[in-house]
Amino acid sequence: MPAKLADVARLAGVSPATVSRVLNGNYPVARTTADRVHRAVAELHYVVNGNARALAASSSDLIGVLVHDVADPFFGVIATGIQDAMSEGDVLAVVCNTGSSAERELRYLKLLRKQRAHAVVLTGGSVNDPGHRTALLEQITEFTSTGAHVVLCGRPPLTGDDDPVPGVIRVDFDNSEGARRLTAHLVALGHRDIGYLTGPETRTTSRLRLDGHLQALSEAGLSEERCPVVVSGFDRESGRAGVGELLRRHPGITAVVAGNDIAALGALAELRARGIGVPDQISVAGFDDLPCAFDAVPSLTTVRIPLMEAGRTSGLFALDASRAPAGGVLPIRTELMVRDSTGPVPR
């Protein structure tokens, strides 16, 4: 039903080839001819059929973006950055919600392969399961083998060892270093009894942040006894429950570090409910610096990851892999944001 190239050609009195050339501007066409074509296009409301185009030119302008949860601002901000980069060209970014399910991740990857996506951006931590890892690597290899590029934004390397996979670009958040500095900040404030609420064990991000924390502890010569670690989650409820567990196991803690801001918010809520003053009695810190960290009461000390910017560069790499740095890895610096939820140890 919609007008096709041939219709435009007929109306403009030229051949289909000429119309195509005018529209793509990759071949010299006389000014007057081009004008006639443009008029015909306007008159017929013609819009090129993307599928036919992709088929003929064997190139598509679809870019897939895989996120754990669109409703989570962490991913929302990254996605915004990516889409921002897309607005350069006539490119469609497909945001896919995996819900942290390995199975859905693979399904979407296949779907994107089916659409011959130009590139794929995988965001956030990976599901930490050996079986999934190989299946994922296989899908990704399938992608890169057709010339499509894969960008990992805030994702660990695909292979256990750090060797680069060809065609795969990484935009790397320095989770452990950020976590290390955060805990070091608490140590500097005099805290010696620091509880840690780590994220879900299935996510690699949790591990990296915990590692940074532990490193800071060992650098300060703090015993693990006085600094309990509780496996919690990245959601609010886990943070809430986790801080309760922490207090039960080690009532003397003076600081709580959560694996991310959302969990930290849960912890804040629980402490408030128990009438424990923050930061007078217990300091609290998070990670990510989501907008809500600033809005929290008291405002949350956290580690800022420039997510929007990371998303934007990831998008640019997806658009044009040649922009990627040599080595294929762009490190993203984190920044410690000291706010009101942390203070000197009470005495």
Partner DNA sequence: CATCGGACAGAAAACGCTTTCCACAGAGTG
Partner DNA sequence: CACTCTGTGGAAAGCGTTTTCTGTCCGATG
Q: Which residues sit at the interface with DNA, rule CB under 7 A?
A: 4-6, 13-21, 23-24, 26-30, 32-33, 46, 48-49, 52-53, 55-58
Residue 70 found at the interface with its own copies (CB under 8 A) = yes
Residue placing its CB nearer to its own copies in the complex, 83 or 183: 83
Residue 104 found at the interface with its own copies (CB under 8 A) = yes
Q: Which of DNA, its own copies, none has residue 106 at its interface (CB below 5 to 8 Å by kind)?
A: none
CA 325 to CA 314: how far, in whole Å? 12
Restricting to residues 145-164, which ones interact with its own copies according to CB under 8 A?
A: 145-147
- 81: phi then psi, degrees, rounded to nearest 5: -60, -45
Query: Minimum distance from CB of 199 to its own copies (Å)?
Result: 18
Query: Minimum distance from CB of 32 to DNA (Å)?
Result: 7
Among 26, 32, 47, 163, binds its own copies (CB under 8 A): 47
Q: Bridge-partner residues for 96, per DSSP? A: 66
Residue type for position 222: L
Within 10 A of 180 (CB to CB), how many other CB atoms are there? 22
Stretch that binds its own copies, among 48-56, 193-201, 213-221, 244-252 (CB under 8 A): 48-56
Query: Minimum distance from CB of 315 to DNA (Å)?
Result: 23
Q: Binding string to its own copies for residues 249 to 288, with x set by CB under 8 A, is what?
A: ----------------x---x--x----------------
Residue type for position 343: G
Q: Which of its own copies, DNA, none has residue 18 at its interface (CB below 5 to 8 Å by kind)?
A: DNA
Nearby residues of 255 by Cβ (< 8 Å), 6 or more positions away: 186, 189, 191, 193, 194, 195, 282, 283, 284, 285, 342, 345
Query: Minimum distance from CB of 309 to its own copies (Å)?
Result: 14
CA 167 to CA 147: how far, in whole Å? 8
Say how many residues touch its own copies, by CB under 8 A.
52
Residue placing its CB nearer to DNA in the complex, 24 or 87: 24
Dihedral angle computed from the Cα positions of residues 336, 341, 345 and 346, in that order, rounded to the nearest 10 degrees: 170
Query: Minimum distance from CB of 110 to its own copies (Å)?
Result: 6
Nearby residues of 295 by Cβ (< 8 Å), 6 or more positions away: none
Query: Minimum distance from CB of 52 to its own copies (Å)?
Result: 5
Residue placing its CB nearer to DNA in the complex, 37 or 153: 37
Which DSSP letter does residue 296 get?
A: S
Q: What is the DSSP string of 70-128?
A: TTSHHHHHHHHHHHHHHTTTT-EEEEEE-TT-HHHHHHHHHHHHHTT-SEEEEESPPB-
Contact status, residue 288 vs residue 302, Cβ threshold 8 Å: yes
Residue 90 found at the interface with its own copies (CB under 8 A) = yes
**In the chain, which ranges are continuous DSSP H helix?**
5-12, 16-24, 31-44, 50-57, 73-86, 102-114, 130-145, 175-188, 204-219, 236-249, 261-273, 291-295, 307-319
Q: Which of its own copies, DNA, none has residue 295 at its interface (CB below 5 to 8 Å by kind)?
A: its own copies
Query: Minimum distance from CB of 114 to its own copies (Å)?
Result: 4
Stretch that binds its own copies, among 50-58, 244-252, 322-330, 336-344 (CB under 8 A): 50-58
